[in-house]
């Protein structure tokens, strides 16, 4: 009975996962709005938060703090987070303890990257008056919930999680998988549920983690006989995951195939020049292939003139369009996207006190919320109370 219900529900949820963009706002509209907000809020003081935020659906999402964010993060979830600042109560988690699960050999990097990721958030236009930015390692309720949730998930299920499987392969762990790494889906479930989030904007690769979160939620709710925790829905952009500039599936700074949100104009130019296209498209007049052609994949994600792009694709496939033309178009778009982000980032990075203040205040706010959920879960499970 329990499992029957569970699977029905899961199918429904899986169907609901790939809902795509919630509205037709484009990247540059999101960026223009971000620029406007950036000018409109004072840099040093954090104004009062509106009480009205309380009734909005809650978003929790975040990033491992392993280095500065790149345009894959932008297309994957930052653009969505910008959109939801007003319609949702939004929390962004600087996931430093999760970053340790595959970076235990380099805790310095994890620590240094906290401010880098926070800077990226603010530079793209995340407004700390409307979105709470908080630090995972300073929210003890998350660790406690993680421990409790580990009892509601099996090792076999963790090993079957497609994201975990992929990441184990990618990181070359072989049989030496850190236990914290294998178990991080339970910790991510703790992150999401501690905020009672119902919406989680993430990149495509994270969908199985939300699914696993909902399984844990259903188990706890079924065992406790009350709906202590809500289920969450992932919001994933239609465009899917951006590959690296070399065409490899994963864009990462350490892989040297990323364009970061702080890239200089020269770095952007060089990255686009080096970008993987169709290796058989040797002469301009040859027909070219757009599938697996990174320039077109990026244009799909960032070009607002989709009609013009469709024409360009047709011409490329017919023959008569050189790689340099499509690269020039992409470069112009990326330069325009990144320049204001880079500028704001440079401005903000001079004011470390402000960044720390944003993180501190956000973490305080998040502490109240996560503590209250921790108490709810402990009482739903009926643990002994002194």
Rule CB under 6 A: say whether 191 interacts with ligand TRP: yes
Query: Residues in contact with ligand TRP, total (CB under 6 A)?
Result: 14
Tell which one of 139, 192, 216, 341 touches ligand TRP (CB under 6 A).
192
Helices (DSSP H) in 78-135: which residue ranges?
79-83, 96-100, 107-124
Tell which one of 58, 98, 214, 297 touches ligand TRP (CB under 6 A).
98
Rule CB under 6 A: say whether 202 interacts with ligand TRP: yes
Q: Which is nearer to ligand TRP, 143 or 309 (CB)?
A: 143
- Which of the ranges 38-46, 90-98, 275-283, 294-302 carries the binding residues for ligand TRP, by CB under 6 A? 90-98
Tell which one of 64, 70, 81, 369 touches ligand TRP (CB under 6 A).
64
**Measured from the CB of residue 66, what is the shortest distance to ligand TRP in angstroms?**
8
**Measured from the CB of residue 93, what is the shortest distance to ligand TRP in angstroms?**
5
Q: Which residues pair with 58 in a beta bridge?
A: 89
Its sign, for the CA torsion 334, 338, 340, 342, is negative
Rule CB under 6 A: say whether 237 interacts with ligand TRP: no
Q: Which is nearer to ligand TRP, 213 or 277 (CB)?
A: 213
In total, the chain counts a number of residues equal to 386
Rule CB under 6 A: say whether 363 interacts with ligand TRP: no
Report d(CA 82, CA 34) in Å as an integer. Answer: 7
Q: Which is nearer to ligand TRP, 60 or 341 (CB)?
A: 60
Rule CB under 6 A: say whether 67 interacts with ligand TRP: no
Report d(CA 164, CA 200) in Å as an integer. Answer: 18
Residue 129 tokens read as 């008056």
Please report, as residue ranges, which positions from 302 to 331 form the binding site for ligand TRP (by CB under 6 A).
Answer: none
Please report, as residue ranges, which positions from 3 to 62 form the binding site for ligand TRP (by CB under 6 A).
Answer: 60-62
Count of C-beta atoms within a 10 Å radius of residue 232:
25
Q: Are strands 89-95 and 199-201 parallel, antiparallel or unpaired?
A: unpaired
Helix axes 162-171, 184-194, angle to 10 degrees: 130
Closest residue to ligand TRP in the complex (CB): 95
Q: Which is nearer to ligand TRP, 192 or 216 (CB)?
A: 192
Report d(CA 359, CA 23) in Å as an integer. Answer: 30
Q: Are strands 233-235 and 131-135 parallel, antiparallel or unpaired?
A: unpaired
Report d(CA 59, CA 130) in Å as an integer. Answer: 12
Q: Which is nearer to ligand TRP, 171 or 273 (CB)?
A: 171
**Measured from the CB of residue 264, what is the shortest distance to ligand TRP in angstroms?**
25
User: Please, are residues 195 and 377 in contact by the beta-carbon 8 Å criterion?
Assistant: no
Its sign, for the CA torsion 43, 46, 50, 56, is positive
User: Please, are residues 20 and 237 in contact by the beta-carbon 8 Å criterion?
Assistant: yes
Given phi > 0 = left and psi -120 to 50 = alpha, else beta, which region is 336? alpha
Its sign, for the CA torsion 126, 82, 251, 325, is negative
**Measured from the CB of residue 200, what is the shortest distance to ligand TRP in angstroms?**
5
CA atoms within 13 A on the CB side of 141: 22
Please report, as residue ranges, which positions from 160 to 189 form the binding site for ligand TRP (by CB under 6 A).
Answer: 188
Rule CB under 6 A: say whether 95 interacts with ligand TRP: yes
Q: Which is nearer to ligand TRP, 93 or 334 (CB)?
A: 93
Residue 365 tokens read as 């706010």
Q: Which is nearer to ligand TRP, 80 or 297 (CB)?
A: 80
Cα 361 off chain centre by: 22
Rule CB under 6 A: say whether 251 interacts with ligand TRP: no
- Which of the ranges 91-99, 151-159, 279-287, 315-323 carries the binding residues for ligand TRP, by CB under 6 A? 91-99
**Measured from the CB of residue 183, what is the shortest distance to ligand TRP in angstroms?**
13
**Measured from the CB of residue 133, what is the shortest distance to ligand TRP in angstroms?**
13
Contacts with ligand TRP by CB under 6 A lie at 60-64, 93, 95, 98, 188, 191-192, 200, 202, 206
């Amino acid at each position: 009975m329990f499992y029957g219900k569970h699977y029905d529900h899961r199918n429904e949820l899986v169907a609901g996962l790939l809902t795509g963009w919630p509205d037709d706002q484009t990247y540059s509209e999101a960026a223009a709005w971000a620029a406007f907000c950036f000018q409109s809020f004072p840099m040093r003081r954090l104004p009062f938060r509106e009480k009205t935020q309380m009734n909005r659906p809650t978003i929790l999402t975040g990033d491992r703090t392993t280095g500065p964010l790149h345009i894959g993060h932008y297309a994957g979830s930052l653009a969505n987070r910008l959109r939801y600042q007003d319609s949702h109560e939004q929390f962004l988690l600087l996931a430093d303890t999760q970053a340790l699960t595959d970076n235990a050999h380099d805790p310095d990097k994890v620590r240094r990257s906290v401010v880098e990721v926070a800077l990226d958030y603010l530079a793209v236009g995340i407004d700390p008056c409307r979105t709470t930015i908080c630090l995972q390692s300073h929210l003890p309720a998350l660790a406690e919930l993680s421990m409790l949730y580990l009892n509601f998930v099996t090792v076999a299920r963790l090993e079957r999680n497609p994201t975990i499987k992929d990441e184990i392969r990618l990181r070359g762990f072989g049989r030496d998988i850190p236990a914290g790494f294998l178990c991080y889906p339970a910790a991510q479930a703790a992150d999401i549920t501690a905020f009672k989030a119902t919406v989680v904007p993430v990149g495509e690769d994270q969908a199985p983690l939300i699914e696993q979160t909902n399984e844990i939620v259903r188990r706890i709710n079924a065992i406790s006989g009350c709906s202590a925790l809500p289920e969450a829905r992932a919001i994933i952009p239609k465009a899917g995951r951006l590959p690296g500039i070399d065409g490899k599936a994963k864009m990462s700074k350490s892989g040297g195939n990323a364009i970061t949100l702080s890239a200089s104009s020269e770095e952007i130019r060089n990255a686009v020049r080096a970008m993987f296209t169709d290796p058989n498209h040797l002469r301009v007049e040859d027909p070219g292939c757009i599938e697996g052609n990174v320039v077109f994949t990026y244009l799909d994600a960032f070009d607002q003139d989709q009609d013009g792009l469709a024409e360009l694709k047709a011409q490329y496939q017919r023959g008569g369009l050189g790689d340099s033309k499509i690269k020039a178009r992409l470069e112009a778009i990326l330069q325009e996207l990144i320049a204001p982000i880079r500028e704001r980032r440079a401005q903000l990075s001079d004011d470390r006190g402000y960044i720390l203040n944003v993180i501190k205040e956000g973490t305080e706010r998040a502490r109240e919320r996560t503590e209250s959920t921790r108490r709810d879960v402990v009482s739903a499970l009926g643990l002994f109370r002194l």
